[in-house]
Amino acid sequence: MGNFKTFKDTLIGYKRWLEAILLSRAVNPKPPRQLAARNLLLIASTFPPAINGGAYRPAALAKYGPEFGWAITVISDSIAKAPTPAGLHLADTVPKGVRVLRIENNTGIKPSWRWYSHIDGGFLNALSMFRLARRELAENPPSAVMASGPRFHSFVAAYYIARYYKAKLILDYRDEWTECPFDFVVKGNADRWWEKRCLRKADKVIFTTNAQLEHQVKVFRELDRSKCCVIPNGWEPSDFVGDKNQFNGAAEAVSKLSISFVGALGTTGNSPGNLLTTIEKVFDRRKDLLQRFKIYFVGDKSEEDLPALNDFRYPESIGLVENLPRGDAYRLMRESAALLLIYGKSAARYMPGRVFPYIAAGTPLIVYGAEGEAADLVKDFGAGYIVAESDDGALERALDDIAEGRHPQRSDKVKPWLDGHTYEKMAQRIIALAEGLAGQC
């Protein structure tokens, strides 16, 4: 029975794939759109009220895109879990005029692993997005299709949708695909083939760091450098408002200096195990620092990292807090004595999104780990302390300075950099790309 179901599901999968191939190559029977049409289809696997670290960039584009004259439609995955307060808060920032469509993930169809295409996020989910776009956008087709990944079934969906509607294709690499060094990109048997195909078709390819752009151009001969640009992540100034002390455990923060990590643990090379071991060494010999500091980890924690957190030998000096609405998280950043960025060697090409609000908060950073784009930025701005992995002496010196208020001299370059890296500026740059492509239709 199991083999028959696999065979049947594989046939269903190929039928849907053939449908996408034939329809995307066909001449669209609709009359040609007006060149002035400014309709952007944004495809993102996570969109509010679903939330993770990758939801903020698409949400910001949906928030600000209409202000620059573009209608935004979103296609996203289904919402797997009940929305959190943080997710609901982010959803409230999306204008009511933005249409959000969702596919039904995990429909029970499971084609053969060997004889069917498997990619990050699910090839069948990409085809479901294509079918949804055909059904819902026929009367108001997009002039540009932008996919933001991970997950990267969004890129494959955008590939077919752009071909079907004869629209321009923009690929937004929040993180890398087959070159990603982290396991949140789940690679199947066809990811590399599809990545090359999407890169050949793309009209514009966006990266969040120069290092990622240079790496991709070097690895993929299918990628034309002239198509590429860097649009970093950003921060939201309006979220740095409101009352103080709106996070769990805030009362204790009055009597102890808080060092806060805000964001998802166990994603971009930021597992805390080595850091916690290094902190234990400092606290073993410096009981005065043990009494002065408490370290908060705010946000999602992977199952793999919970043992290291729960086994920390000084449990009274560690606090675990769930996801906070962005405004509350920003206030916590501003009120902490220091902000923690765990920056492993595998993250050297990455600029974690939390770096932008971290620097905007004006609170000194502790960058724990390897050299890379984020560490270079912090050093250049005088925004904090660089502590090499396992260097308990450097961490002890940093804690001494923080306890005594001896902070690095912050550069005059910080303010203009922050002004140029808001979410609104980020969205404006993406819309400008779409505007330029629309003029080529």
What's 250's domain CATH number? 3.40.50.2000
User: Do residues 13 and 109 make contact, with C-beta atoms less than 8 angstroms apart?
Assistant: yes
pLDDT attached to residue 2: 64
Residues 55, 32 share a domain: yes
pLDDT at position 439, please? Answer: 61
Alpha helical stretches, state H, 204-272? 210-219, 250-253
pLDDT at residue 247 greater than cutoff 50: no
- 107 or 424, which is more confident? 424
Contact 67, 96 (CB under 8 A): no
Same domain, 143 and 272: no
- Burial tier of 403 (Cβ tally within 10 Å: 0-12, 13-18, 19+): middle
Q: Indicate if 386 and 410 belong to the same structural domain.
A: yes
Give 273-314 pLDDT, tens digit per residue: 999 999 999 999 999 999 999 999 998 888 888 999 999 999
Are 210 and 262 found together in one domain? no
Count Cβ atoms within 10 A of the Cβ of residue 438 and give its class: 0-12 exposed, 13-18 middle, 19 or more buried. Answer: buried
pLDDT, one tens digit per residue, over 357-378 is: 999 999 999 999 878 889 999 9
Nearest one of 352, 406, 345, 355 to 380, comparing CA atoms: 355
**Whether residues 217 and 258 fall in one domain:** no
Domain that holds residue 122: 2-234+423-438
Identify whether residues 296 and 250 lie together within a single domain: yes
Burial class (CB in 10 A: 0-12, 13-18, 19+), 111: buried
Q: In this structure, what token pair is assigned to residue 257? A: 């200096």
- Mark whether 334 and 188 lie in a shared domain: no
- Separation CA 385–CA 413 (nearest Å): 17
Q: 342 and 246, same structural domain?
A: yes
> 249: pLDDT confidence band, cut at 50, 70 and 90?
very low
Which of 177-186, 216-225, 300-309 bottoms out in mean pLDDT, i.e. has the lowest?
300-309
Query: Is there a single domain that holds both residue 21 and residue 163?
Result: yes
In total, how many domains does the chain have?
2
- For the entire predicted model, the pTM comes to 0.91
82 & 117 share domain: yes
416, HSE (Cβ side, Cα atoms, 13 Å) = 3
Joined tokens for residue 159: 């590939």
Residue 26: predicted pLDDT: 79
Task: Check residue 242 and give its pLDDT.
Answer: 58
63 shares its domain with 36: yes
Query: CA 288, CA 307: separation in Å to the nearest integer?
Result: 26
pLDDT for the residue numbered 344: 83
What is the average pLDDT across 417-423?
Answer: 97
Residue 252 has pLDDT above 70, yes or no: no
The verdict on 290 and 432 lying in the same domain is no
